A and B are shown apart, each in its own frame.
Chain A
């Protein structure tokens, strides 16, 4: 027992004086790293989930060139994809809080006053724009034969979308989606400040 204790102390003193990286310090604060990782995963997961749900109707509206929504979503995507995520987060958290109207509105207290929720909203809007863009590409490149076959077997437009177009589009969008997941995970370093 005594030797074990002294070995542990030797390890600690070695880490504090000779080792370039203090591994014992990392070991002591492991709980904090774990908590931080949990926040990162939570943020990434929620942003991707909600963003993905928003992205599907946006991608459909753009792929089928709906009169008003198509150009509006195009403009939205252009703004989001053309500006850094950090600036969007700043705009959301520090910017909106400056307005009295926003501070007094009913949304302020439950949603916009918390940093975490502001970051989550910014991330969700960001990932929704990117996902809508590549999902639109996937929907537009659906082989015509698949749609024709679905039409020939008497599917309504909704069923056609649900059973044929979207599953096939998801398959083609998957490589881009995995990139987007990693991008969102990397992007979450921004919440650090």
Chain B
């Protein structure tokens, strides 16, 4: 069952991680909000936003690798088409 559910779960997880970014719009002090206010006050918004971009990339990259590993474990002994 896990084997069939994993691709959907992976997709859902990645979408959910990325959709936490708009909470900064209503003022929750998340990654984007902090970077935005820091960038505003130092006038180096581009550098801060690049950093945020990279942090999100690392988060999604690591979770993608991990979920791939889980997927491989659960599909051991299954013939790939």
Contacts and interface: CB of A to CB of B under 8 A. Distances in A.
A81 B22 CA distance: 16
B25 A90 contact: no
Given A82-B57, A83-B53, A87-B53, A96 B46 contact: yes
Which 3 residue pairs spanning A and B have beta carbons closest together? A84-B21, A95-B46, A82-B60
B13 interface: no
Contacts of B36: 90
Interface SS majority for chain B? helix
A98 B40 CA distance: 11
Given A90-B32, A90-B36, A98-B43, A84 B56 contact: yes
A91 B21 contact: no
Interface of B: 14, 18-22, 24-25, 32, 36, 39, 43-46, 49-50, 52-53, 56-57, 60-61, 64
Q: How large is the interface on A (under 10, 10 to 19, 20 to 34, 35 or more residues)?
A: 20 to 34
A87 B46 contact: no
A189 interface: yes
29 contacts: A78-B57, A79-B53, A81-B14, A82-B57, A82-B61, A83-B18, A83-B56, A83-B60, A84-B18, A84-B22, A84-B56, A86-B32, A87-B32, A87-B52, A90-B32, A90-B45, A90-B49, A91-B46, A91-B50, A94-B45, A95-B46, A95-B49, A95-B50, A96-B46, A98-B43, A98-B45, A98-B46, A99-B46, A190-B25
A121 to B, nearest CB: 15
Contacts of A94: 39, 45-46, 49
A82 B65 CA distance: 13
Interface SS majority for chain A? helix
A193 interface: yes
Interface of A: 78-79, 81-88, 90-91, 94-96, 98-99, 189-190, 192-193
Nearest to A98: B46
B71 to A, nearest CB: 16
A189 B50 contact: no
Nearest to A84: B21
Given A82-B61, A87-B56, A98-B43, A189 B49 contact: no
